[in-house]
Amino acid sequence: MLQAGVVTALGTMSGTSLDGVDAAVLQTDGARIYGFGPSDYRAYTTKEQAVLQAHLGLWQDDDCVQAAKIVENAHGAAMQPFEGVDIAGFHGQTLAHDPGGRGTHQCGDGQRLADALGYLVAWDFRTADVAAGGQGAPLAPFYHFALAKWIKADAPVAFVNLGGVGNITWVDPRCEDATDPDALLAFDTGPANAPMNDLMQARRDLSYDADGALAAFGRVDAAIVTDFMAHPYFADPAPKSLDRDAFHGLTKAVAGLDDADALATLAQAVVQSVAHACAACPTMPGRLLVTGGGRHNKTVMSGLADILACDVSPVEAVDLDGDMLEAQAFAYLAVRVARGLPISSPKTTGVPRPMTGGKIAQPFKATP
């Protein structure tokens, strides 16, 4: 199994934006961060994206073999160049997420990667949490707690990840451990990049609105945003989580708007949902640190700065890598899984108690 002390962990992440695989190295003992290593990115091809898109919403009992092969091959290619890895965290690709219903489904087999790469692979991070009554998401909060310690924050801070779906982690770094009942609150904020990216793909054959430039020229349809914020999800108590396509009504509502106005309206929906999430935190964070692709959307970022009574900055403002933070999180969680440490808690996913999860795949070694 995994040796004691600080180890070199490789984490991977393929998010709901379906753009590709992030891979990043972290030095950690599963509690503290000791340093950051190299990172890389492997984009999905247009053909691969189309296959993955077609499999969204399908479960294990449907034919997801083609999608799983794409995910495993892409991750293997992204992970292969790294040397000196002791353990990897393989998140897989979320195809469907329905806590309280059918469960959660991330396709991809960690055992195949362990056999191919020759080292331990932690995977299937969400299933045990959902089975125990949790939301199975978000899972980065324990890493966010370690990051708050790393940047020496001395007052509550919030990390907001704007990927396909948005999520927030409120952290009180004055607590000693992430399992402290007052240390964390985390939940999905609402849709983030996914509706904007889908609109750009459908209307302009582009994967996203670069820098939010087109949205900046649009006019917000305030009635659509008001209807969006009336969705029952926003009245639900945290922790709570979302599927990528949980807000079909928002996408339909902007269908009659021109491109710029539709994007401006979708961007404002992100802003309002994040502001609502901040208001639901135990205290207003002194700083909002934004990670994920959405931090490059100037329309979203300026909207957040205008509406929130706290500093709003990309995580690069504290010398973190916003492109790789989620991948680093799964490197960190891999070590915690291997050492039997909790990866979720009542205030992050709604599980009854802090609990570990995941599976450990050991590489197959042929008998001489």
Of 136, 148, 138, 132, the residue nearest 183 (C-alpha): 148
Q: What is the pTM of this model?
A: 0.93
CB 155 within 8 A of CB 185: no
- Averaged pLDDT, groups of 10, the chain, 368 residues long: 94 88 98 98 94 87 85 96 97 88 90 96 96 91 98 97 93 97 96 94 94 98 98 93 84 97 98 98 96 96 97 98 95 98 96 96 75
Residue 243: predicted pLDDT: 76
Q: Which two tokens stand for residue 262?
A: 């539709």
Alpha carbon 290 to chain centroid distance?
12
- Please measure the distance between the N-terminal and C-terminal CA atoms of the chain and give it in whole angstroms: 21
Please classify residue 86 by burial: count the beta carbons closer than 10 Å to its beta carbon, then call 0-12 exposed, 13-18 middle and 19+ buried.
Answer: middle
Residues pairing with 41 in the sheet: 22
Residue 366: predicted pLDDT: 53
Q: What is the 3-state secondary structure (H, E, C) of the chain?
A: CCCCCCEEEEEEEECCCCCEEEEEEEEECCCCEEEEEEEEEEECCHHHHHHHHHHCCCCCCCCCHHHHHHHHHHHHHHHCCCCCCCEEEEEEEEEEEECCCCEEEEECCHHHHHHHHCCEEEECCCHHHHHCCCCCCCCCHHHHHHHHHHCCCCCCEEEEEECCEEEEEEECCCCCCCCCCCCEEEEEEEECHHHHHHHHHHHHCCCCCHHHHHHHCCCCCHHHHHHHHCCHHHHCCCCCCCCCCCCHHHHHHCCCCCHHHHHHHHHHHHHHHHHHHHHCCCCCCCEEEEECHHHHCHHHHHHHHHHCCCEEEEHHHHCCCCCCHHHHHHHHHHHHHHCCCCCECCCCCCCCCCECCCEEECCCCCCC
Residue 96: predicted pLDDT: 86
Look at the alpha carbons of 87, 93, 99, 101 in this order and tell me if their dihedral is positive or negative. Answer: negative
For the chain, list the domains and their CATH numbers. 7-138+324-361 (3.30.420.40), 152-318 (3.30.420.40)
* Residue whose token pair is 């404002």: 268
